[in-house]
Structure 1
Amino acid sequence: MTDGVRQLAPRRLWPLWTVLVVVVLLLGCGLPALLVVGVIRESGSRATISRFGASAADDPATEVARGLSDRMTAQLQRQSTALVGGDRAGYLAVAEAPAHADLRRRFAALRALKVTVWRAEPSGLPVPVEGKPGEWRLLVRFQYCFVAPTCQPSPVLIGTRWRENGDQPLLVALEESKSVETGTRPWEVSDLAVAIGARTIVATTPALRGKLPSLLAQAEAAAKVADGYVVTGSPPDRYRIFYAGPAEWKRWYGGGRPQWTGGYAVTVGGGHHEVVLNADGLPSSGTDDLLRHELTHAASLPERGYPGKATWWLVEGLAEFAGAGGQPIDRYEGLAEVRKLVQSSWDGRLEGITPADDAPAERVGGSYGVGYLAVRHLVDRYGPERLLTFFKAVLHERKTLDVAAEQAFGERWSVLHDECVASVRAAVA
């Protein structure tokens, strides 16, 4: 992942688990000013093209590239307008015929997801493709919204390839985003069947279409819970959920999750998280708490990620608390794993409870259970509002645990930490 920083945080689920992927997007940052050209800007309902960093000293090759960038940008604008307007012929018209099959699939998937915003912003100048005269490659930062036309768009950086064709260069291919950002989006590579509710979007492959009605109902119920864990701003306009079959699980967002993973949430920018569930082996009895858990991540976490492993217990503990759905502690299904961890290798420090990617299943379950019990203690003693104040101070405002504890609870963190640990031990005694 050359353009993002990924943090993994697995979550216990029977018999699988889930992983949280927090991506700090760096798109559009750190580029030399000279290289940012032909950016599409919105002005009311009009799209205009502006150029940055032009220099009177540009050499002829750079001037050629700039001219090509402007013409490619105009083609991208035509394609964007066609996509949002549902004009498939117009969407395909900017591309050569061999690219049409891939573009038709992308068009259908994005339209099924109810794309309402699609903007293309060239990132740098086009460069010649080696060994292919007249062909050029241009990195493009696409920004998109689903369903809600006024959302803060999510960005994705994708390589595009073009062939010179007078004033209207032709698109040769859209590459997958896996080589330049956080991993391939589902709509880039898969046919999608989609169901949309008041608070959620649920998408899967056509082969799993029959799961959509129940998944949507479960997702809508989970969204009502997750909305209660928003710590800053407004709830997401729609929670985005992708239900992956075995092949898609290995491909969407780069795949490569720990073997015990049952689902994950990935930050995609624009204040959005996209949730992926592993259809292979995920029991229906575990879907409700998994969705509550993951959508709580989407509602509560800051876009820029969280401050590392020392706060993992708090991030996952809150999501586990939401996932538990208010059930009594003695009904929490991970108590046996917590007991084994407490009685064996745990040193009694919350900041060191994060499991490794290759940790055995029992160790993963125990780690999540410790986080849950620690958060549960704070909620039981101080109430959910003060717990969310603490969460916001630590995760969003990046305050130390000491400062956050004084602010939210009026207590020293060292004292509260020991109380949380004692509560964990008492629960499994």
Structure 2
Amino acid sequence: MWLPIGLVVALVLCVAPVAVGVLVLRGLDSPAWTVTPAAKAEPAPSPVAGDDTRVTAAWLRQRIGDALTAQGAALLKGDQAGFLAVADPASPAAAALREQFGSLRAMKVTRWAATADAIPSSVGANKWRTLVEVDHCFVEPDCQPMTITYGTVWTDTAAGLKLVGVEPSMSTYDGPRPWEVDPMVVATGKRVMVATTPALRGQLKTVLAEAEKAAVVADRYTVGGPPPAHYEVFYAGVAEWKRWFGGKRPSWTAGYALPVGGRQIDVVINAAAPHRNDLDDLLRHEMTHASTMPPTGFPASAWWLVEGIAELAGSGGASPQSYEGIQEVRKLVKERNWTGPLQDLKIADNAADWEVAGAYGIGYLAVRQLAERFGEADVLAFLKALTHDRIEINEASQQVFGEPWSLLNDQCVAAVRAAAR
């Protein structure tokens, strides 16, 4: 779900060095950190002259696994030297790990279980590449872990097998996690962790304060289970906005949320946007996506409902005539002669700001119409049926509202057009 940069409407639908000077403005009590070691396997035999390359590869895989287990234990204990011991000190990997250590600790990492189950492949003289998979958690001592997979390159040195290369993770969402590729400064509150780059350190306190207030609102709209144990918000500068996971979005986007594994839905805010969007509204919108989104993301057919509910949270239930995007709704309804249906409501990547704002406003007014008639609890039950349970819209309408969707769609469209007069 993303937002037009020109207005307070946000759309979201939808995934390296780190840091000198980590800043923790407000901390949670340090959680009980635990490490899950890889299961012990039978030791691979040491290769000797004349052995098949597969023998060497199996031996390397076990040595890499042991090194990763020791590295994870060091991270959770706060032992930077132990965390870096896996890398060749002269390699780029060592510099990347040094910065990642700072960021991961600031983000209150509570789980870091790395495994390398694939057989390493030769990538040059005395060098091997293998994929590493890491289950990890932040803030929560016990969570459904998120998982990243990234490439590593290793070499045998006089000091033993050492890591010399670390690649950004391979992500379904077109980009690495922020802490993999940029230094992070971090602030944590009661319900939210906010991370950004050192260049934006001065805004961190304000973003955290607004995000804490937004969390109270987003919690009220939770769908599919209890409210998130905590919210993760990444505040992106211009370059980071394009580089981080989920980037490469339409130019009108001001924020988005996306599932990153386990039950975690991360929020990314474009720091360049809030000067033309109210930061508090934007955070309420995007964090409501985080509290309502299923782990697999939202179906496109429910866009109007998903965005309408997020706008309901963002605007505080403003009346149609006081809703900030009402002029854009009028323009869209009149110039496009919009008559529905709601399921067909879409925004082109190259849409003008007013078109984006108008579409968000239509979603908002339709949801407000349903909420006034049936109550917010039933609207959230309808959202759950469509997006979590993936029930067909007509069946969901009958189950939740007791009326056919064709009738309710027409009533919502009529309410939108009446507000746009």
Task: Sort the TM-score into its range (normalised by shorter chain).
Answer: 0.7 to 0.9
Q: Find the residue that maps to 1:209 and give its secondary structure.
A: helix
Which residue number corresponds to residue 371 of structure 2? 379
Which residue number corresponds to residue 205 of structure 1? 197
Deviations 1:347-387 (A, max 9, x none): 42111111011111111111111111111111110001111
Q: Write the distance in 2 (CA, Å) between the matches of 1:243 and 1:45.
A: 29
* Mapped pair 1:103 → 2:86: no
Which residue number corresponds to residue 20 of structure 2? none
Deviations 1:291-322 (A, max 9, x none): 011111110010112222x2111111111111
Which residue number corresponds to residue 23 of structure 2? none
What TM-score, normalized to structure 2?
0.88
Which residue number corresponds to residue 335 of structure 1? 326
Q: Is the 8 A contact 1:334 1:369 kept in 2?
A: yes
Which residue number corresponds to residue 299 of structure 1? 291
Q: Is the 8 A contact 1:196 1:202 kept in 2?
A: yes
CA positional deviation for 1:247:
1.7
Q: Which amino acid aligns with 2:250?
A: P
Q: Write the distance in 2 (CA, Å) between the matches of 1:12 and 1:316.
A: 12
Q: Write the distance in 1 (CA, Å) between the matches of 2:86 and 2:345.
A: 53
- What are the residue-to-residue correspondences of 1:253-268 with 2, within 5 Å? 253=245, 255-268=247-260
- What are the residue-to-residue correspondences of 1:77-156 with 2, within 5 Å? 77-97=69-89, 98=91, 99-129=93-123, 132-156=124-148
Which residue number corresponds to residue 47 of structure 1? 37
Q: Find the residue that maps to 2:14 and give its secondary structure.
A: strand
Distance 1:182 1:85, change over 3 A: farther
Q: Which amino acid aligns with 2:323?
A: Y
Which residue number corresponds to residue 360 of structure 2? 368
* Mapped pair 1:420 → 2:420: no
Relative to total residues, which structure has the larger strand share, 1 or 2? 1
Deviations 1:165-193 (A, max 9, x none): 59952111211125776411111111111
> What 5-or-longer segments of structure 1 have no aligned partner?
1-8, 24-43
Which residue number corresponds to residue 306 of structure 2? 315
Distance 1:228 1:140, change over 3 A: same
Q: Find the residue that maps to 2:165 and give its secondary structure.
A: strand
Q: Write the distance in 2 (CA, Å) between the matches of 1:181 and 1:278.
A: 17
Which residue number corresponds to residue 194 of structure 1? 186
Percent of pairs with identical residues: 48
Which residue number corresponds to residue 33 of structure 1? none
CA positional deviation for 1:411:
0.5
Q: Is the 8 A contact 1:157 1:180 kept in 2?
A: no
Q: Which amino acid aligns with 2:271?
A: A
Q: Is the 8 A contact 2:130 2:152 kept in 1?
A: yes
Distance 1:279 1:21, change over 3 A: same
Distance 1:357 1:45, change over 3 A: closer
Which residue number corresponds to residue 226 of structure 1? 218
Comparing 279-288 with 102-111, greater Cα deviation is found at 279-288
Task: Identify the match of residue 325 of structure 1 among 300, 316, 330.
Answer: 316
Q: Which has the higher contact order (CA 8 A, sep 6+)?
A: 2
Q: Which amino acid aligns with 1:316?
A: E
Distance 1:136 1:355, change over 3 A: same
Deviations 1:310-351 (A, max 9, x none): 211111111111111132222111111111111122342111
> What 5-or-longer segments of structure 2 have no aligned partner?
16-33, 45-50
CA positional deviation for 1:48:
3.5
Deviation beyond 6 Å, 4+ runs, structure 1? none
Deviations 1:86-110 (A, max 9, x none): 1000000010012221111111111
Which residue number corresponds to residue 24 of structure 2? none
Q: Write the distance in 1 (CA, Å) between the matches of 2:187 and 2:343.
A: 40
Q: Which amino acid aligns with 1:328?
A: S
Q: Is the 8 A contact 1:19 1:257 kept in 2?
A: no
Q: Which amino acid aligns with 2:295?
A: E
Task: Identify the match of residue 65 of structure 1 among 30, 54, 57.
Answer: 57
Distance 1:45 1:156, change over 3 A: closer
Q: Write the distance in 1 (CA, Å) between the matches of 2:347 and 2:137.
A: 34
Which residue number corresponds to residue 162 of structure 1? 154
Q: Is the 8 A contact 2:94 2:164 kept in 1?
A: no
Distance 1:399 1:51, change over 3 A: farther
* Mapped pair 1:175 → 2:160: no
Q: Which amino acid aligns with 2:69?
A: Q
Distance 1:112 1:267, change over 3 A: same
CA positional deviation for 1:281:
4.1
Which residue number corresponds to residue 272 of structure 2? 280
Task: Identify the match of residue 335 of structure 2 among 344, 360, 364.
Answer: 344
Q: Write the distance in 1 (CA, Å) between the matches of 2:339 and 2:94.
A: 58
Which residue number corresponds to residue 229 of structure 2? 237
Q: Write the distance in 2 (CA, Å) between the matches of 1:406 and 1:134.
A: 66
